[in-house]
Structure 1
Amino acid sequence: MNSSHSEIEQQNFVVLGATGSVGSDLSRRLISAGHHVLLGGRDKNKLQELGAELDAPFANIDASEFSSIEECLQAAHTEYGRVDGVVNCIGSVLLKPAHLTSDEEWQETLTTNLSSAFVTVRSASKVMRQTGGAIVLVSSAAARIGFANHEAIAAAKAGIIGLTLSSAATYANRGIRVNAVAPGLIKSNMTKKLWETPTAQSTSAAMHALDRIGEPSDVASMIAWLLQPATSWITGQVLGVDGGLATIAPRHKQKATHQ
């Protein structure tokens, strides 16, 4: 192992939603840096494959079964003796106007995104109360700027911002840091309809000032950074990893030109 990793070797993490595009990239990144990672996910086959690839323990979880998240974190605490960081990459995408969104779709969107984040904070704070640690949640650029047909998912992701700020204040005296990332459009299986054709990809990329869609590694690298001891003075922050989507006018709307 490279000696430059010595400061952060043997940290113990839990990644929920580990089989997703961002979660799997993050898990590989953390393990390659010398950390222990317990993988949490819903798809048993994908979990087994990722666990075998990374030689890492895994636990089957369901965002709608809150006890499964709590048991996953307790299992990590039992396995490692302490938990240094927990990341919730569990999420979904629903692109529908409010008047076409059913009760079931609304509840599922809230459960998968916001409720799973709340249970993550509740469970992580219990296992970290004596030792401190870092919690990272995933919000969205859609919670910070209005996009048509995003009512349900924007509301859920905005709730994660409120949860991040409040829980960061609550648990700061325990040495628990709580931060969130707010991605723009990321190239993943979940968002495939928004980028799978050349026309869709070009249109989506043009919404971002940096004129490209994000890669899972863009988000995973920021999350990994937030877990490091070097960021121990950062808490209560929502960091945009969005190519400027939530804060900068897209390139085609910018009138100024470079000389």
Structure 2
Amino acid sequence: MAKNILLIGGSYGIGAEIANELKNENNIIIASRSNDSLPDGVKHIKFDALEDDIEKIELPDCIDGLVYCPGSINLKPFKSMSIESFREDLELNFISLVRVVHGLLPRLKKSDQASLVFFSTVAVKLGMPFHTSVAASKGAIEGFAKALAAEYAPSFRVNVIAPSLTDTPLAEKLLNSDSKKEKMAERHPLKRVGKREDIASVAAFLLSEKSSWITGQIIGVDGGLSNLNIT
């Protein structure tokens, strides 16, 4: 039986790639601000994670899979970061995620075993300069996901993907020239930056029955950056 998979903010980049991988065997719903790059065969609902109430949009009674895609890459020296910047990143990356999950609880509970997939960053595990705000807000996601997985097992499975730099519209400023791409690729043991397919395939796996014994995990999809030192 086809599952109902809801992607929040998944109309382009990694979210759209996840939808493409899953749409043939599942009912995919993307709730996002835009539908400019919406994959064929996917239902779209207008939704702003920062402003809108997930409980007030029309969704199936049962949600079997949830992916929260909104995120930020706000890289600046700490001395240049305002408190308001930290608040904005926390609101988008974490607080809005919490609101979405809380509002969907009744629908998630109707699934035989819902699978929730969130996104962190390699910068939580591997301290990096200029990442104080994004690492803080994404670190909150990791802690939240583990606690949520423990509280709702076996009803839900909750896992987090922690990518390194991936070639998506969100990272465009960091990869907008061949020299930048080469420099970033050299930092990774596998000598390339991530592709959206790298991340989407892991998300699709976590949403499938093939991962039915996996929960509470932070999965690094990072070209080996977080665990390997090859210098």
Given candidates 12, 15, 25, the residue that maps to 1:23 is 15
Q: Structure 1 pair 70/100, CA: closer, same or farther in 2 (3 Å)?
A: farther
- Alignment equivalent of 1:71, drawn from 13, 33, 56: 56
* TM-score when normalising by structure 1: 0.84
Higher strand share: 2
Report the AA paired with residue 65 of structure 1.
E
Aligned with 1:106 (options 76, 79, 86): 86
Q: Which has the larger radius of gyration?
A: 1
Contact 1:124 1:135 in 2 (8 A): no
Question: Residues of 2 paired with 1:241 and 1:105: CA distance?
Answer: 27
Paired letter, 1:84: D
Residues 71 and 140 of structure 1: CA distance in aligned 2, closer, same or farther (over 3 Å): farther
Partner of residue 37, structure 1? 28
| Partners of 1:39 and 1:154 in 2: CA distance | 26
State the Cα deviation string for residues 100-153 of structure 1 (Å, max 9, x = none): 112332221111111122223223333122333110001110111111000000
Shift of 1:66: 5.0
CA contact (8 A) 1:95 1:149 kept: yes
Matching residue's letter, 1:165:
K
Choose between structure 1 and 2 for higher RCO, CA contacts under 8 A separated by at least 6 residues: 2
**Hey, what's the Cα distance between the residues in 2 that align with 1:136 and 1:189?**
20
Partner of 1:60: 46
Q: What is aligned with 2:221? A: 241
- Runs of 4+ residues over 6 Å off in structure 1: none
* RMSD over aligned Cα atoms: 1.6
Shift of 1:235: 0.6
Q: Find out whether 1:167 has 2:148 as its counterpart.
A: yes
- Partner of 2:30: helix, strand, or coil? strand
Deviations 1:31-81 (A, max 9, x none): 03x2101111122x52xx51xx423221122221251x3434xx222xxx4
- For structure 2, the residue ranges without an aligned partner over 5 or more in a row are none
Counterpart pick for 1:122 among 95, 102, 110: 102
CA distance in 2, matches of 1:70, 1:152: 29
Judge conservation of contact 2:67–2:116 (CA < 8 Å) in 1. yes
With normalisation by structure 2, the TM-score equals: 0.94
Match of 1:90 among 58, 70, 75: 70
Q: What is the one-letter code of the residue matched to 1:63?
A: A
Deviation per residue, 1:161-220 (Å, 9 max, x gap): 0011000011114x1111110001000111112222122111111111111000001000
Written as runs of structure 1 = structure 2, the 5 A alignment for 1:216-227 is 216-227=196-207
